[in-house]
Chains A and B, each alone.
Chain A
């Protein structure tokens, strides 16, 4: 356990656990609502917010948050009534956000941020302050999902039936997409946008066909995320490889191995 003797390693571990919790819950909703592509679009578009923050010389986190929530709300509005037929628009917002970010960074004099650190993150360089923000975020997500669990369940299972019962589906959908946006922003600096999408999709996909309820799917997804994050972190330390990529590698290998196993439902 000498690995935990380093403060940056302890911080990385806590960041990984918090990211796992947030991604396990939100990721499960993303997968059952089939909005993986929308979430990917939001994650990439948030890069525009990073560029904007540097261009204006303002703090990165607040600016990116506002920018991403705006992008998420546009995305939600466009996809509200035809989730399947809006991939083109999502793809355009996805690309436009990234391009905007890069152009704004080009216009920013002097110091340029490293694009790689936003793609794969820098989990080993997480400051204490980010941990507090992530912790608050995790609590907020937990409270909102528990508060509206029944609504999310009914909407995710059968949106049309939910609407016919008078469930405020539009509200829930906007709330979900906003939570995805918030969650992406909080985690992106830590683990990078590629890892965000991997954590949002791989564990829930594996958990979906092995559980008997949405809440158990969320729990199993979180546990799987933790397993991948911790193993990946240890691997990156032991073999000295990039941490974000190591975590994704572990998750991907487990994902493909899981495809070989039968879909047996546990608990």
Chain B
């Protein structure tokens, strides 16, 4: 029961704060561009509005379109509960490998749903997303497995703080590339556009509306928060023995900081051409490989 409370509570808290992180990033980006920008709590309003709206879907769709938002959301909710933020033993839901593959699970189903409406936009998003995935997953794997090799276990509790050394700095850069790409941000993708030349993630969501879209947005923000939590867990974990309040407050502070970095990256760089992405991922891979090499020398 206690385990359920710890795990479920953590997933719930991360779910609750994830729109806020998104709001902070948006606000920071707007300020950096000398705009006033939407309110920080705007994402909550968006979700509530979408949840009330009627959902419309194409006549070409089948049960896949209906179940995918649920599966997508559940996958990230579980991923959110896997990283032991509080350092206490929760439910045994997974380790680093399961974590990576939960992303694959969510992606697989969303890419299928994107193909359902028969519109070319969905197909475009789906096909590009799977291409990008094939570039991201190896980098993600090298970065995380480098940490695993260093600590000798795939358990998240053991890996906590494994990046606090010289090689960790390199791995951090590699994981940052992964985070930017996975969250669909500039330079890999542009979250603010609905232009067919650039869209990837938004292309897949194009045919969704109402509560289904709300669920998918919430899941995507949760995914962004999880990736940031992962960075915190590997590089800046809370001190052992701190109280729960301290842990969650400091976590929130660190997430805000990383969110600001993301906003800064987004304001300083330009969107890359899709086929320049392999170069970006290759640089990420080289950082991670260098960190692995340093560990082993």
Q: Does B bind A?
A: no
Residues of A that sit less than 8 Å from B by CB: none
- B residues whose Cβ falls under 8 Å from a Cβ of A: none
